[in-house]
Amino acid sequence: MINRLFNVSLQTKITGLLLGVIISVIFILSIFFAYSTVEQILSNKYRLSMQTARTVSLLPSVSESLQEGDGRASLQFLTDQFSMENDADFIIIQDKEGRVLTHPNEEYLGRVQAFGDGFKARVFGGYYNMESDEFLAPSIVGIAPILSETGSVLGVTTVGYLKKDIASLIYERIRFILYLSVAVIIIGIVLGYLLARHIRKETFGYEPREIAALYSRQDTLLSSLNEGVVAADEHDKITLINTSAKDLLEVNDSYIHRPIYELLPPLEYSWVYETKDEKLNQEIYLNNKSLFVNLVPMFTQGEFTGLVATIKDRTEITEMINTLSEVKKYSDDLRAQNHEHSNKMHLISGMLQLGNYNQVLELIDREMNHIQKNNRSIFNQIEDTNVQAILIGKMGRASEKKVDFMIDEGSYLSPLPPHIEVAELITIIGNLVDNALEAVISVPHPLVSFSTIDIGNDIIIEVSDNGIGMKEEEQETIFQPGYSTKGDRSKKRGFGLYNVKAAVNKLNGIIEIDSSRQGATITVYIPK
């Protein structure tokens, strides 16, 4: 029920609230004013009637003419004068028998009016106010005794104000307050309407709950995005950073309300701010990540209100490409193995046709030995199937390249812990072996040996070659993206060792390079 009551438009809410407040305030104030006005008018009349009655009763000429029993005309003249001066509706003087001596209405003169409301004055000489309807009409009266010098009562004066006149006077005053109140209420309605309209305009006519829904939807949307989103207002202050952006840029919410160029390195913001045009695919390199940034201006109802930067992590794309190329290499490696195998089968079939059975047996023995030697260490000592697969692939590749690929007989590897993913493993082992194969391509008796061991807290992977080694400065640069010993950089190569470094970093491992003229050894330590 209450919910239903609040489930109205913003317009209604604001107008209702404003009106509620204004009307209550006005109501309270009006009641207060009306009350004090009435109070004031009444007490004024009370005071005035009493004062006039007292004054008239104390006039020496009044008590004299009562004692003498004459001079009515002069009394009437006197009271008329006092009525005029004090706006009193009537001043009535009665003698002690109750005979009316002065009266605004002539026909009442001389009539005897019993003392009802005048009783206290006539008998006890009391001075008092009361509401009376003894004379003319209901009125507020002040009553005073007319006393002799000794204090005996000679008569009674009654001074009155008619209630209907007082009521109309009160009504007059209150009507003014009412008009004022109505005016203020109308102003309140207009203001409420304008305010509500203004707010609606600012919110595209959405109701607050719709805005809330929109906002939460946007929030969910933004945080579910893989792309980083940073929004800035027209004064280049950041207003929003989504979760992905926080991860990519490695910041938290403290950057909100700070200038956008503090968060992102110099891009052409000012250009966007000036031309109100978008700037797409700017590449920046930050925190060991290569990022693509799009700057798009934001318009609200045709007004430029800021810009949105979307940030794509290029590293991911690169990694995807790398993984893809690794997989390609495998199929190549397998093709190579297949080729080797069919070559050998041709050789055997040739020998058999020639009848060289001994040579056939020799060849098969040699092959068997080689395979057994390698396979023993691969299948008996290296228990992780992924590593097995990688190594078998690499063996095929090595034999195609006529490189001797040795797996160290002391290698031992239990199945790897789950936090080390296949992709990372492929990246590390694959790239290291490929690099070694590349390094020995031009030396006599090329040899690449691989060993791994997981005794202790670390998994240790070591790849050695008998190439020409690396220079000092080379060692420092080989892990940078785009480094390659092979030709120019434009061909998007040279990410191999950079990727190894990234994968090892991710696993909190370390890389060591040991290089001499007789070749290089790269060792990777990965904590379990």
Partner 1 sequence: MKKYVGLLLILTLVFIAGCSSESSGSEADFPEGDIEFVAPATPGGGWDATARAMQKILGDAGIIEENINVSNKPGGGGEVGWQYLLGQDAHTISINSSLLVANNLLGQSELTYEDFTPLGILSTEWVSVAVPPDSPYETGAEVMEALKEDPTSLTIGVGPSLGNSDHLSFVQAAQEFGVDVSQVEFLVYESGGDVLTALLGGHVDVATMSVSESKEQHLAGEINMIAVSSEERIEGLEEVSTWQEQGVDMVFPHWRGVMGPPDMSEEEIAYWDEAIGEMVETEAWQEVMNNNEWEPFYHNSQESQEFLAEQTERFDELMTEAGLIE
| Residues found near partner 1 in the complex (CB under 8 A) | 50, 96-98, 114-120, 122-128, 148, 150-153
User: What is the rounded CA–CA span in Å between residue 116 and residue 158?
Assistant: 12
Between 71 and 98, CB nearer to partner 1:
98
The distance of closest approach from Cβ of residue 154 to partner 1 in the complex, given in angstroms and rounded to an integer, is 11
Q: What would the DSSP string read from start to end of 405-417?
A: EEE-TT-BBPPPP
Between 112 and 182, CB nearer to partner 1:
112
The distance of closest approach from Cβ of residue 56 to partner 1 in the complex, given in angstroms and rounded to an integer, is 15
Between 118 and 192, CB nearer to partner 1:
118
Q: Quick one: which of 62, 81, 78 has its CA closest to 70?
A: 62
Between 45 and 122, CB nearer to partner 1:
122
Give the total residue count for the chain: 528
Q: Which residues contact 70 (CB under 8 A, 6 or more apart)?
A: none
Q: Are 437 and 467 in contact (CB under 8 A)?
A: no
Between 89 and 95, CB nearer to partner 1:
95
Between 57 and 521, CB nearer to partner 1:
57
Between 129 and 521, CB nearer to partner 1:
129
Between 73 and 114, CB nearer to partner 1:
114
Instruction: Please give the helix or strand (H or E) that residue 131 lies within, else none.
Output: strand 128-132
Residue with tokens 């040279």: 494
User: What is the rounded CA–CA span in Å between residue 354 and residue 348?
Assistant: 10
The distance of closest approach from Cβ of residue 146 to partner 1 in the complex, given in angstroms and rounded to an integer, is 13
* φ/ψ (deg, to 5) at 511: -120, 135
The distance of closest approach from Cβ of residue 82 to partner 1 in the complex, given in angstroms and rounded to an integer, is 19
User: What is the rounded CA–CA span in Å between residue 377 and residue 362?
Assistant: 23
What ranges make up the beta strands (E) of 196-263?
228-233, 238-241
The distance of closest approach from Cβ of residue 164 to partner 1 in the complex, given in angstroms and rounded to an integer, is 25
Percent helix, strand and coil across the chain, each to the nearest 5? 55, 20, 25
User: What is the rounded CA–CA span in Å between residue 119 and residue 126?
Assistant: 9
Q: Are 374 and 407 in contact (CB under 8 A)?
A: yes
The distance of closest approach from Cβ of residue 67 to partner 1 in the complex, given in angstroms and rounded to an integer, is 13
The distance of closest approach from Cβ of residue 105 to partner 1 in the complex, given in angstroms and rounded to an integer, is 23
* φ/ψ (deg, to 5) at 372: -65, -40
Q: Quick one: which of 95, 96, 122, 123 has its CA closest to 109?
A: 95
Between 142 and 467, CB nearer to partner 1:
142
Between 133 and 227, CB nearer to partner 1:
133
User: What is the rounded CA–CA span in Å between residue 469 and residue 500?
Assistant: 19
The distance of closest approach from Cβ of residue 141 to partner 1 in the complex, given in angstroms and rounded to an integer, is 13
Between 114 and 194, CB nearer to partner 1:
114
Q: Are 406 and 448 in contact (CB under 8 A)?
A: yes
Exposed e or buried b per residue across 213-247, where buried means at least 16 C-beta atoms within 10 angstroms of its C-beta: eeeeeeeeebeeeeebbbbbeeebebebbbebbbe
The helix/strand count (H/E) of the chain reads as: 17, 15
Tokens describing residue 219: 């929030």
Strand-pair partners of 147: 153
